Amino acid sequence: MTEHITLMEPMLPSTISEELQDLALELTQKGAELSSILHPTVQLEVGKLVRSMNCYYSNLIEDHNTHPRDIDKALNNDFSSEPEKRDLQLEALAHIRLQKIIDEEQSSMNITTDYILWLHREFCENLPEDLLWVENPDTGKRIKIIPGELRKGEVAVGIHEPPLFKNLPQFLNRFEDAYDLTKLGRMERIIAAATSHHRLLWIHPFYDGNGRVARLLSHAVLKEIGVGSSLWSVARGLARNVEAYKAALMAADEPRKGDLDGRGSLSQKELANFCKFFLKLCIDQVDFMRNLLSPEELLIRIEIYIEEEVRAKRLPAGSFPLVREALIAGSFERGKASMLTGYKDRQARSTLKSLTDAGLLVSDTSKGAVRLGFPIKVIGRWFPALYNSDLQV
């Protein structure tokens, strides 16, 4: 069967509406503001927290419910004896490991077939064997997922039938050409971050892992164009609006609706609508994290928590000044503890040790400078609503 790459046109709206421009500008401005509110050292620690959160929500979209505590245990090499739960923990580690590479990458990236294959390979190579198989719902045949390899058979996604496997290279070549960030203007690059998300899922290049790869690609693209960072994740917004997300994806699969709906095979109006949906979710998540990470508000929540811990005799008096200094200054030398607490050296060291034992302050060495830590036990108090409201973290 002959398929032409025009089947997935348009790749970008022919005209970027004023509403889309406004959304792109708002995201740019707010993304830059978020990146400036915390000390860079604190941002690195928050980035670890956000990667775990991103993994949790990305798993939810795949109907893989991995509790944040299980993710935290996996990060500390504490795996469940239950095979299914252990597999999900390993899947979480694979996601976090890959996003860490993306977050810490200093060189530029581009939307290329090689990059997409790399994302799939890096993620799948670290999955347990049981998660590397899919089953054809029509025939019951099990198919092995090869990391970084395009599918070699036909699939259906609901009512959508992606391109034939033999035509995947030509569709991916068109995808790569249309979303080459080096050829797009500033506004087009932001719009491409949204449209490429849908069009990659439309192509459905792999037997499994397409959604995960698309979300990681979007994260990488948003970071590359200067509006994304390790401090927020679109996956949280997509997961918390998953039905609307799936509906928007399906709508953007629809064919062109008359002469006023562009000149491609697919609906230009619905592609623009998906862009609006995607960018609004991005802005919503940046706003959420901006409010959550506001130093003034965060300090209040931390102070209340520490006061309660001191009253319960789980932390010593004088703990808060040390934690406050770590948030504001990013880190401080251990010898500064006496000055910050007003205690003599021995008592100050004891207070500092209590905080490092509790994980509220962390250090790379036993004598090195300390910085703020975010152990799982404080997440619900310091970062309310980070996870689903009905989830006990």
In terms of domains, do 308 and 244 share one? no
CA 73 to chain centre: 19
In terms of domains, do 143 and 241 share one? yes
In terms of domains, do 199 and 140 share one? yes
pLDDT tier at 171, thresholds 50, 70, 90: very high
In terms of domains, do 244 and 347 share one? no
* Integer-rounded Cα radius of gyration of the chain: 23
Domain range for 110: 5-293
In terms of domains, do 153 and 258 share one? yes
CATH (domain of 281): 1.10.3290.10
Q: Average pLDDT of 31-38?
A: 94
Looking at residue 24, what is its pLDDT? Answer: 97
Record the tokens describing residue 286, joined without a space: 């940046």
pLDDT tier at 392, thresholds 50, 70, 90: low
Whether residue 331 is contained in a domain is answered as yes
In terms of domains, do 335 and 205 share one? no
Looking at residue 321, what is its pLDDT? Answer: 97
**How far apart (Å, rounded) are the C-alpha atoms in residues 76 and 231?**
22
> Is 134 exposed, middle or buried (CB count within 10 Å of its CB: 0-12, 13-18, 19+)?
middle
pLDDT tens digits along 191-220: 999 999 999 999 999 999 999 999 999 999
DSSP assigned state of 137: T
Inter-residue contact 174 to 5 (CB < 8 Å): yes
In terms of domains, do 264 and 321 share one? no
Looking at residue 3, what is its pLDDT? Answer: 86
pLDDT tens digits along 274-294: 999 999 999 999 999 999 999
Whether residue 390 is contained in a domain is answered as no
CATH (domain of 319): 1.10.10.10
Question: What's the residue count for the chain?
Answer: 393
Inter-residue contact 309 to 351 (CB < 8 Å): no
Q: What is the mean pLDDT of the chain?
A: 94
Record the tokens describing residue 118, joined without a space: 């790399």
pTM given for the model = 0.94
Whether residue 46 is contained in a domain is answered as yes
Is the pLDDT assigned to residue 390 strictly greater than 70? no
SS3 (DSSP) at 66? coil
In terms of domains, do 258 and 316 share one? no
In this prediction, what percent of the chain has a pLDDT beyond 90? Answer: 90
Domain boundary (240, 267, 293) is at 293
Looking at residue 259, what is its pLDDT? Answer: 86
Inter-residue contact 201 to 216 (CB < 8 Å): no
Total domain count, the chain: 2
Domain boundary (293, 325, 345) is at 293
In terms of domains, do 331 and 208 share one? no
Looking at residue 393, what is its pLDDT? Answer: 65
**How far apart (Å, rounded) are the C-alpha atoms in residues 249 and 211?**
11
Is the pLDDT assigned to residue 141 strictly greater than 90? no
Domain boundary (293, 327, 362) is at 293
In terms of domains, do 108 and 221 share one? yes
Beta-sheet strands, E only, within the chain? 133-135, 142-144, 331-332, 361-362, 370-372
pLDDT tens digits along 118-140: 999 999 999 999 999 998 777 77
pLDDT tens digits along 308-363: 999 999 999 999 999 999 999 999 999 999 999 999 999 999 999 999 999 999 99
| First and final C-alpha spacing in the chain | 52
Q: Average pLDDT of 257-275?
A: 93
pLDDT tens digits along 48-68: 999 999 999 999 999 988 999
Whether residue 198 is contained in a domain is answered as yes
CA 177 to chain centre: 25
Inter-residue contact 71 to 90 (CB < 8 Å): no
In terms of domains, do 73 and 161 share one? yes
In terms of domains, do 287 and 169 share one? yes
SS3 (DSSP) at 277? helix
